[in-house]
A and B are shown apart, each in its own frame.
Chain A
Amino acid sequence: MEDIFTQVREGNAFHVRVWLDNTENDLNQGDDHRFSLLHWAAREGRTNIVDMLIARGARINATNMGDDTALHLAASHGHRDIVMMLLHNKANINAVNEHGNTPLHYAAFWGKDQIAEDLVNNGALVGICNKFNESPLEKAKPKLGSMLKERALQLGQDLQKIPFKDRSWLGYKTRSRDALLSRHTGIDIKQLNLSNQVAVTHSGEMYRGQWEENDIVAKILSIRECTLRMSRDFQEEIPRLRIFNHPNVLPVLACCNQPPDLVVVSQFMPYGSLFNVLHGETGIVVDQNQALRFAIDIARGMEFLHTLEPMIPDLVITSKHIMIDEDLAKINIDDPKYYRKTDGVVNGIDEDLSARINMADYKFSFHEKGKLFSPAWMAPEALTRKPSEINQRAADMWSFAVLLWELETREVPHADLTPMECGMKIAMEGLRLTIPPGISSHMSRLVKICMNEEPGKRPKCDMIIPILEKLKQK
């Protein structure tokens, strides 16, 4: 079988789509030189595939080993529609590669006049210099150079040369991921190089570790006695959690099935869970916009999980099960608002945070039977009736409403009650969250709609995402 990079290069859209639909495939993976699928599609001018990849959440500003972004490649190979598409999706227009070149350098050098003009029109700076102190204007043929200069002047650009700054320190954060990650399923616990214990929770003990040069967290499930049957069920359920094809879902990387230890391995997330970010002492400021971005991320992740057939059961959407990921390739780091001129450090770091539903928090069918530790986030019907007897998607929507409430109020839902008290009161006595004053009327209406007592009347994910997008723009 030809590998996916070849399929993308050759523009085999059908194969690419099938490949993307397989949850085990990570669309942000890179090849040996860390070219991502988006890089290849942009380079070869596969417009439809670029479109598909962007829609599936490809990292726009991911870099390869030479620190080229997809925009560099599209610009130098003269694919104007792709350049526009990337720009439209917040591609970093002044991205600098290892030689200090921007996309405009390449468009100018290769004589892609139209593209060069588009880039300047969209804010590409003509004064940026590469390592050899050459600006795009100097790389262009005289005629194009003077035309670009004129255009830049019209737009009010300062034509002063901007000297090259070494920013290779950013590289590791923006490069495409190692494709090897999604190829492993069962591994030996000894390979994990477990170091220190991070936490002990009801569901298991968490350890930090290193695996294939990645920071990982290993959760050793808390089990009284690991039976053969449990080990078998574990093996059967794990593959479904390896979801690499959605940016808002954090996959389980691998597992160790070594009774008495059952270990779930996932990527280490330095910021921890959303619960941690909102209620812990992380020092991260979550402003209104960031909260909305998180909400949209979660809704997208949920929407994706809801398309799976059959759905993955027993994954409760709570803020403890949402991980916060840092991804500089998501944003335009050369945007002046992120850039502190004095020391070259990225400013306002929260913009690059995204929320991902953590598949490692899935509750295995044999694990913690009969125990719900977060009833505050659960729909009343999910507390009283079997998962098989309720509409799981509608119940998730209720949980999402609780998350929205949490993001808005910055409070822990029913913080004053123990899980048993809280669950009994929700299930038996009609205890509900109240929306405090001071919440915007749009948001409080959205929370109310999603928390409809009638599961059938709650909206679907694809209905709320546009609403959230609109709220964000305001």
Chain B
Amino acid sequence: MATSPNPLTVGTPKKKDESFLDKIGTIGRKKKAKEASILEEEGKLAIESPTSPTIPDVGPEGYLLDELEERSMIEPTSKEDPKVQELIKILLDWINDVLADDRIIVKDILEDLFDGQILQKLIEKLADIRVQVPEVTQSEQGQKQKLQIILSVINRLLQLQWNQVRWSVDKVHSKNLVAILHLLVTLARHYRAPIRMPDNVSVNLIVVTKRDGMLQTKRIVEDITTINDDIGARFERDAFDTLFDHAPDKLNLVKKTLVTFVNKQLLKINFEVADLEAQFHDGVYLVLLMGLLEGYFVPLYDYHQTASTFDQKVHNVQFAFDLMQDAGLPRPKARPEDVVNQDLKSTLRVLYNIFTKYKGQGA
């Protein structure tokens, strides 16, 4: 296994790093404004500068490999792959969203996560638990001990088989992108993060093995995400799961029925829907549909008629969900984010819910 490429970390604590979280905490406790702004500045510096002066991308030549030792690294071009970059950005946004209340800002997926500090906060927030570990540790050993605890908590929570765990203390601590991505993607899936990750993201790895004193290299492709089929799949299984799994032919029939039902209403105001997945994702038609079925007009300022951003769309869908609940419909099982992310199953669930209540209504 690889050792840390950052031996310099050991025994070089920097004063400002010691307690940046503590100090952010003190801001929360409403210190005097001036003091707070100084601390903020200091905290910002602390966040932006990594805990250890890393030399990024230490090549394999920087290490000595023992006989039969294997080491893998990402092909540099793979890191620049737009899909990988997109995935990293989405994951970063998600983490920052989750940790917004803690006033934690993560900027670099490797530099900010490897020491376990952020991972601790993340899992505490997601699982609503407390992990008993020292707040801030400087030594490599301390960091690894902490990571060990945190990762075992995560593995336990995710209920993974041993062969499904594609990360380790050393890999995370050595800022192994593949391991960290696997970890985050699995977390995001498990906790049903309201994000849509790009499909089929993979990275090319170069695997170096020392055999008979010679370095042998080979390239393999590591999949990070596959086809995005599992968003919102974590509620109890219902008819739609069965439908999707066992009767894809019937699915079209259901879709057709729903399209007919929906259009019967929407045509009254000169709208028509052909594609359930795409045309409902911004929530506008859902809002209009509720107004048509329940006999009211929704003023245009209460939703975004031409929703362009994710947030606007989520607002629309959430608003439509509220209207549905007002009308006595059960709380939609899907989340607004799933509909916005064009998850067909979620959209169908929502529409079917409406259909069941109003199908008897005439024109």
Contact = CB atoms under 8 A, between A and B. Distances in A.
Interface of A: 202, 224, 368-373, 375, 382-386, 389, 418-425, 427
Interface in B266-290: 268-269, 288
B297 to A, nearest CB: 3
| 10 interchain residue pairs of minimum CB distance | A423-B297, A420-B291, A371-B296, A375-B297, A370-B302, A419-B297, A384-B300, A372-B297, A386-B301, A424-B269
Nearest to B296: A371
Contacts of A382: 299
Contact of B269 (A383, A386, A421): A421
A421 B299 contact: no
Interface stretch (B12-20, B157-165, B319-327): B319-327
Interface of B: 268-269, 288, 291-292, 294-303, 319, 322-323, 325-326
Residue of B297, B298, B322 with most partner-chain A CB within 10 A: B297
A146 to B, nearest CB: 73
Contacts of B303: 370
Nearest to B298: A370
Contact of B299 (A202, A384, A418): A384
Given A373-B295, A383-B297, A418 B268 contact: yes
A423 B297 CA distance: 6
B297 A420 contact: yes
A421 B291 CA distance: 9
B300 A224 contact: no
Residue of A368, A382, A386, A424 with most partner-chain B CB within 10 A: A424
Nearest to A225: B325
Contacts of A224: 325-326
A58 B186 CA distance: 75
Contacts of A385: 300-301
B269 A370 contact: no
B5 to A, nearest CB: 54
Given A418-B268, A420-B269, A373 B301 contact: no
Given A418-B292, A419-B291, A424 B297 contact: yes
A384 B295 CA distance: 18
Contacts of B302: 369-370
A383 B300 contact: yes
Contacts of B291: 371, 419-420, 423
Contacts of B292: 418, 420-421
Residue of B269, B295, B303, B325 with most partner-chain A CB within 10 A: B269
Contact of A427 (B294, B300, B322, B323): B300
Nearest to A223: B326
B296 A372 contact: yes
Contacts of A375: 297
Residue of A368, A386, A418, A423 with most partner-chain B CB within 10 A: A418
B330 to A, nearest CB: 12
Contacts of A427: 300
A29 B297 CA distance: 40
Given A372-B299, A420-B269, 19 more contacts: A202-B295, A370-B322, A371-B291, A371-B294, A371-B298, A373-B296, A384-B299, A385-B301, A389-B301, A418-B292, A418-B295, A420-B295, A420-B296, A420-B297, A423-B291, A423-B297, A424-B288, A425-B269, A427-B300
Contacts of A383: 297, 299-300
A419 B301 CA distance: 16
B259 to A, nearest CB: 19
Nearest to A383: B299
Contacts of A373: 295-297
A421 B298 CA distance: 10
Given A224-B325, A224-B326, A427-B300, A370 B295 contact: no
B188 to A, nearest CB: 31
A421 B296 contact: no
11 contacts: A224-B325, A368-B296, A370-B298, A371-B294, A372-B296, A372-B297, A372-B298, A420-B269, A421-B268, A421-B292, A422-B297
Contacts of B325: 224
Contacts of A422: 297
A403 B295 CA distance: 21
B346 to A, nearest CB: 22
A385 B299 CA distance: 8
Contacts of A420: 268-269, 288, 291-292, 295-298
Nearest to A222: B326
